[in-house]
Structure 1
Amino acid sequence: MTGSTGGAPPALDRELHHPTRLALAAYLSACGEAEFAVLRDYCEVSDSTLSKTLSALEKTGYVSIRKGYLGKRPRTWAALTLGGRRALARHLAALEEIAATARRAAGAGAQEPDTTGT
């Protein structure tokens, strides 16, 4: 598949391609930071899955993790970094380009003459 300029395909970010990672990044893009349990419930994943996902995004520099206490209870908060926000914006733009290319292709196909003779 080519981009709208006929060049290389849109650049999807491999680190954000997985649905849970993309959902986390999108959620975090709308807030300063979010507590672990809120993210877990939003993504409907286990503690283990969320922990691994956050660690992977932290390793790429897309998410920062802050640990602390709320009263005597330990808590973990996550925030999307500036690099994460930029990566998410590029990834979403690539998805939009893919969708636009598909719409154009569907529109072009609808206007082709019927050559089947029916």
Structure 2
Amino acid sequence: MEIAQVRLLVTDFAACYRFYADVLGLKPQSGATEGPYEKFSAHTGSAGIALQDRAMMAQILRELEDAAAGHRSLVVLRVDDLDAYCAEITARGATLLHGPAPMTDRMRVAHLRDPEGNLVELQQWLLLR
């Protein structure tokens, strides 16, 4: 397992994009200035900070947008075998909110909350960049 990123769930994607790219000088991965997702890194290959439109995450979790509005961030962990890891952690008491399920053609994800209610995303990459 590796820490892939800390993802910030944002409402004003464009303003946040400009802050991380133009003010802090982090390197955007794709240049998606209007979102709904962009990853930033200090240098190639480092774990990064990502922005994701809050409404998009609400749709993924199939929650009402108001319920997801309080979430500001989530921790993203990359695992080699999502199904096996989810089985392992549910046996230890974790409750999955969503998944394992495809998120894109390149990855599958599962979501859960920690005891404080923080979102955690587990992801398995299917195709490398």
Instruction: Using structure 2 for the length normalisation, give the TM-score.
Output: 0.27
Richer in helix (by share): 1
Richer in strand (by share): 2
Instruction: Using structure 1 for the length normalisation, give the TM-score.
Output: 0.29
Higher radius of gyration, 1 or 2: 1
Higher normalized contact order (CA 8 Å, seq sep 6+, divided by chain length): 1
